[in-house]
Amino acid sequence: MLLRLASFFSRRSDLVTLGAQGVVVNEASQVLLIRHGYRPGWHFPGGGIEHGETIDRALSRELHEETGVTIVKPARLFGIYTNFDVFPGDHVVLFIVNHWRQDHVPAANAEIAEQRFFALDNLPNATGAATKRRLNEIFSGADRTRAW
């Protein structure tokens, strides 16, 4: 057991982390963004994939926990991005969510301070740079990058 733990910690730089985020689009073509309580800016909802969890299950869980959104038809995979500026082995899997319902809106808390739908031409000034790049790729046909 001690050898296994030592091996794990000695290879930390080799670790790969994976997160799922969703671009939730409503009938007015607005996108759902969240503002975290622990970092600045507006971002897509989503989060880390837990051990033994599928990517689509993680997306569903994170959207429901953070925004009250329930996916009713499978989300469409848009892209897989590296997020090495945050962590050397980090990757983000981005989905477009067109078929969903929101039966409740969770109360603001320490993790999610606020959530709101925004028109693409009226995004908040504090929208994260990566979020803006992804929206341009999805809705304006901008060239895709590999880095988040």
What predicted TM-score, i.e. pTM, was given to this entire model?
0.89
Range with the poorest average pLDDT among 5-9, 16-20, 116-120:
5-9
16-140 CATH, one of 3.40.50.300, 1.10.10.410, 3.90.550.10, 3.90.79.10: 3.90.79.10
* Percent share of the chain, pLDDT over 70: 91
Separation between Cα atoms, residue 96 and residue 93, nearest integer Å: 10
Question: What's the pLDDT tens digit per position in 79-110?
Answer: 999 999 878 899 999 999 999 999 999 999 99
* DSSP states of 89-132: TEEEEEEEE-SEEES--PPP-SSEEEEEEE-GGG--TTB-HHHH
Per DSSP bridges, beta strands 90-97 and 17-24 are: parallel
